[in-house]
Structure 1
Amino acid sequence: MSKDETTTAADAPKKSKKMLMIIVIAAVVLLGGGGAGAFFMLKGDKAEAAPVKGSVVALEEAMTINLADGHYLKLNFSLQQTADAGSESVDTSEARELAIDEYTGKTLAELSTEKGREELKAELTSKIVKAYTEDGKKMVMGLYFTSFVTQ
């Protein structure tokens, strides 16, 4: 056997051990990085617990709101309070003002489709929930239209 053949045969196991070591290290790094990434992504996506429904507070009187082009909207709704609000009813004055601001000047076409009404209701609900959140506690979680008449 020549000297070249013995060195090549002796180098082969060293190369395969190095290659195996590289593959193992790469797998550990990839799996560890993937696991850590999944952990932090899932940890950040913790859903906030849905508030528990409390009492419902109805506005005493319907509102008449001026729309565009001489039309008007007769609107009344109730606020769904959370259990965090306690047994005392929230003051509905701010909700009335937000509703007037939201609907004033809207066109009859915007309010005549179900999609339009739902979009405006979602915007109003968001504003009301934000307005009735105190110290991180939501006092109101939604609203229900009890009257919605356009002319």
Structure 2
Amino acid sequence: MIPSFSLRQLSYLVAIADHPLAGRPSLSIADLADYDLIAHGVPPSPENARKMIEEAGLSIRIAHMSTNIEVVRSLVARGTGYTTLVQHWPIDVSLEGLPLICKPVTPPAPEYRVVVAWSDTARLSRRAEEFIQFSERMAVWTPGRNAGIATQP
């Protein structure tokens, strides 16, 4: 059998910490219809955001787009809009130290899965072993944020 495990991640919404909707346990795209999107401009992020917004029956309102994720998070932390992301950071603050809120999308956004698999007969390089260990730690680190791990013997 091929050793493997999978990580799953859902999109989530990021907004300024003192956003009027910050107290809610989750947010829908419709909740943010009156706010501008700060888009992460690296595919497939813009397309995923557009799809989520259009599926909610809304028109996309992009205020800014950047290929630098920290610029996106900093613009959000300064109150210029919200963003949708999949990758989670260990702390919910911008590089400037400004607080952010991270909320699950209601109804749940599409799930993204990554499978890490390797041959049980192959000798793994040190980098490959470290990548597998890192991926396993990330799967365990984010369980409250809808990540999971499934290991096959």
Normalization by structure 1: what TM-score? 0.23
Whose helix fraction is larger, Structure 1's or Structure 2's?
1
Compare CA radii of gyration and give the structure with the larger one.
Answer: 1
